[in-house]
């Protein structure tokens, strides 16, 4: 379980408050206008940004002062998830050993992870030879190998077309369920939230609202959510 305890994030004029918890082993969507702080919140959970106040707890453990590598978290970015000069298998293998000294068993693990995301046999390619969707699949394969209980998605599929995005979301949902991962997913699309997120939290007006069941919340939007979704909601 991810708990945000009287958390305050501050960057210049920007300020975001959060005091809520996200369900373990489930997908939670973060929805809200651009610039509201959805990505900033993920950065703080991943350890890239120190909170001004309050703390982040994951699985009951206080994350304050912990380096990003020491947190039980994998984050997928919108782009630049892969190093362009490394081959696909090396990019995945970084999830096992940052110095890339892999033994035979680990190489087999890398191949299995690639097969899992539908990229069997592409290990020797370079990221530039892959499509945008394939590149994010590679990043997902690495996330699989890292076996961290929390997966943070900072719109990694936003640049993909609708069909491909749905496919990727289904892949993530399947993996998360099987691996019992807790997923936090930033999105602009109510449809994405409906597709895989049991609960959704609104990030707007400097505040992270506690998550609520996605369906009812989107069916009858109120307040800031109604404003964000528009009259047709």
Partner 1 sequence: MAGGAGELSLSPARIAGGVALALVVALCLGTLLPLVLAAEPGRGIGPADRAAIRFTLFQATLSAGLSVLLAIPVARALARRRFPGREALVTLLGAPFLLPTIVAVLGLIAIWGRSGLASRALGLAGLGPLDVYGLGGVLLGHVFFNLPLVTRMLLQGWGAIPAEHWRLAAQLGMGPGAVFRHLEGPMLREVLPGAFLLVFLLCSTSFAVVLALGGGPAASTVELAIYQALRFDFDLGRAALLGLVQFAICLVLAAGLLALGRQAGFGQGLGGPVARHDAARPLARAIDAGAILFAAAFLLLPLGAVVVRGLPALIAGLPAQVWPALRVSLSVAVPSALLSLALALALAGLVTSVRRGLLAEALTLMGLAASPFVIGTGLFLVLNPLVNPFALAIPVTLLVNAVMSLPFAMRVMVPAMRRAREDYGRLADSLGMSGVSRFRLAVWPALRRPAGFAGGIAAALSMGDLGVIALFADPETATLPLTMYRLMGAYRMEAAAGTALLLLLLSLALFWIFDRGGRWLDRA
Residue 68 burial (CB count, 10 A): 12
β-pair partners for 213:
199
Stretch that binds partner 1, among 41-49, 104-112, 175-183, 204-212 (CB under 8 A): 41-49
Q: By C-beta, is 4 or 92 nearer to partner 1?
A: 92
Between residue 62 and residue 101, which ones bind partner 1 under the rule CB under 8 A? 67-70, 73-75, 77, 79-81, 83-86, 94-95, 98-100
Place of tokens 């005091």: 19
Quote the CA–CA distance of 209 and 6 in Å, as a whole number. Answer: 12
Our CB check for partner 1 shows the closer of 155 and 199 to be 155
For residue 227, the surrounding DSSP H or E stretch is helix 223-229
Question: Which of 144, 153, 146, 2 lies closest to 63, judged by CA?
Answer: 2
Q: What is the distance between the alpha carbons of residues 163 and 166, in angstroms, rounded to a whole number?
A: 5
User: Taking CB under 8 A as the rule, does residue 105 contact partner 1?
Assistant: no
- Using CB under 8 A, count the residues that bind partner 1: 25
| Minimum separation from the CB atom of position 75 to partner 1 (A) | 6
Instruction: Give the nearest distance from C-beta 12 to partner 1 in angstroms.
Output: 13
Question: How far is the C-alpha of 37 from the C-alpha of 181, rounded, in Å?
Answer: 23
Site residues (CB under 8 A) for partner 1?
43, 46-49, 67-70, 73-75, 77, 79-81, 83-86, 94-95, 98-100
């Amino acid at each position: 379980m991810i708990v945000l305890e009287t958390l305050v994030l501050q960057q210049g004029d920007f300020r975001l408050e959060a005091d809520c918890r996200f369900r373990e082993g489930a997908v939670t969507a973060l929805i809200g206008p651009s610039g509201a702080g959805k990505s900033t919140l993920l950065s703080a959970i991943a350890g890239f940004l120190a909170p001004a106040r309050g703390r982040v707890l994951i699985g009951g453990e206080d994350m304050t002062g912990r380096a990003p590598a020491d947190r039980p978290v994998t984050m997928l970015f919108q782009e630049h998830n892969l190093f362009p000069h490394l081959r696909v298998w090396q990019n995945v293998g970084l999830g096992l050993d940052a110095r890339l000294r892999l033994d035979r068993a680990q190489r087999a693990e890398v191949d299995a992870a690639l097969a899992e995301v539908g990229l069997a046999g592409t290990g020797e390619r370079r990221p530039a030879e892959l499509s945008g969707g394939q590149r994010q699949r590679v990043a997902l394969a690495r996330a699989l190998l890292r076996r961290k209980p929390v997966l943070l998605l900072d719109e990694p599929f936003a640049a993909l077309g609708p069909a491909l995005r749905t496919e990727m979301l289904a892949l993530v949902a399947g993996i998360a369920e099987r691996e019992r991962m807790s997923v936090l997913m930033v999105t602009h699309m109510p449809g994405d939230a409906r597709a895989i997120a049991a609960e959704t939290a609104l990030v707007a007006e400097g505040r992270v609202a506690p998550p609520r069941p996605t369906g009812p919340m989107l069916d009858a939007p109120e307040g800031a959510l109604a404003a964000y979704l528009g009259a047709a909601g």
